[in-house]
Amino acid sequence: MPTLSIAMIANNEEKNLARSLGSAAWADEIIFVDCGSHDGTELEARKFPVKYFARPNSLAVYVNKQFAVDQATSDWILILDADEEITPALRDEIKRFIAAPGVAAAEMPRRNYYFGRWLRHGGKYPDTQLRLFKKNRARFLPLPVHERLQVDGPIGRLKEPLLHYPYTDEEDQRRKLAFYTEILTRSYALKNRGKTAVMLRPFTRFFSAYILKLGFLDGPQGLRTALMDFRTVLASARLYMKKDTEGPTGK
C-alpha cells in the first residue's frame, strides 16, 4: 500500500488544529510548519504526531508550502490547510485513489462554511482544489497570491469534498482579511494593474458572486460573504492606490 504524508502550514491557528490535525491522524506522516505564530499553535500541534518545523511567516504563501512538501518522505502528499477537515468518506476515497495506478495527482471539491452555513453558490462551490499528488511529481509555482501546483502527469478527480472553515471568530476574520488585503495589493503591484481596473474590481467581483453566480440563493450568509469579499477587495484597491501615489519612497 502506498504511503501518504499530509503537509500543513499554519499561522496562529491554535483554535483550528484539533479539528484539522485530528482529521489527518490516519496519515503515515504529518509535516507541520509553524509560520511565525504567537498564540498556542505550537503547543496544540505537538499534541499530535507531527514533524514540527518553524519558519517566518511570508506573504508568498507558496514558499512555506513548498518547504513543507520538501520535508515529506511518503509516496504521496496531501496539502491540508489548518482551517480544513478531511471527512472519513474523503479519507477512504484518498486511500483507494493512491492505491490505483495511472495518475500523478488529484483534484477534489471543497465545501466552504461561512457564518455557520455551507455556501452552494457565489463561486464558493465546488471550489475545486488540487491537493493530492505523488512525491516529486508536483511543485508550487512562484505566484504572489492564490498559490498553484504544477503537475507532471495526468490529474484525476475525487468526488468527496474537503471541508473548509475559514474563520473561527471575528478576531480571526479581521486578522486573515488583513493578510489577504496585503497579498492582493502586492499582486496588483507586481502585475502593474491599471488604476481604473483595480478600483472597479470590488464592484465587478460583488456583482459576479452575488448576482451572476447566484450568491443570493444562500440567504443572509450569502450576502454577508459577498459583502465581506467586497470590503476586502476594496481595501486592497485603496491600499494599492495609496502606495502608488506615495511612490517607492513612501513619501
**Distances, alpha carbon 217 to alpha carbons 34, 121, 206, 207, 250, in Å:** 38, 7, 14, 14, 44
> Mean pLDDT score of the chain, rounded to an integer?
93
Instruction: Give the pLDDT confidence of 36-86 residue by residue, as tens digits.
Output: 999 999 999 999 999 999 999 998 899 999 999 999 999 999 999 999 999
pLDDT of 251 reads 35
Q: Checking DSSP bridges between strand 29-35 and strand 50-55, what pairing results, if any?
A: parallel
Confidence of residue 144 (pLDDT cuts 50, 70, 90): low
Confidence of residue 250 (pLDDT cuts 50, 70, 90): very low
Report the C-alpha gap between 57 and 62 in whole angstroms. 11
Contact in structure between 33 and 54 (CB atoms under 8 Å): yes
- Weakest-pLDDT range from 127-141, 145-159, 230-244: 230-244
Question: Which residues lie below 8 Å from residue 86, measured CB to CB, with a gap of 6+?
Answer: 23, 24, 80, 94, 162, 163
Q: Calculate mean pLDDT across residues 217-229.
A: 97
Decide: helix, strand or coil at residue 159. Answer: coil
Amino acid, single-letter form, for residue 102: G
Report the C-alpha gap between 63 and 61 in whole angstroms. 5
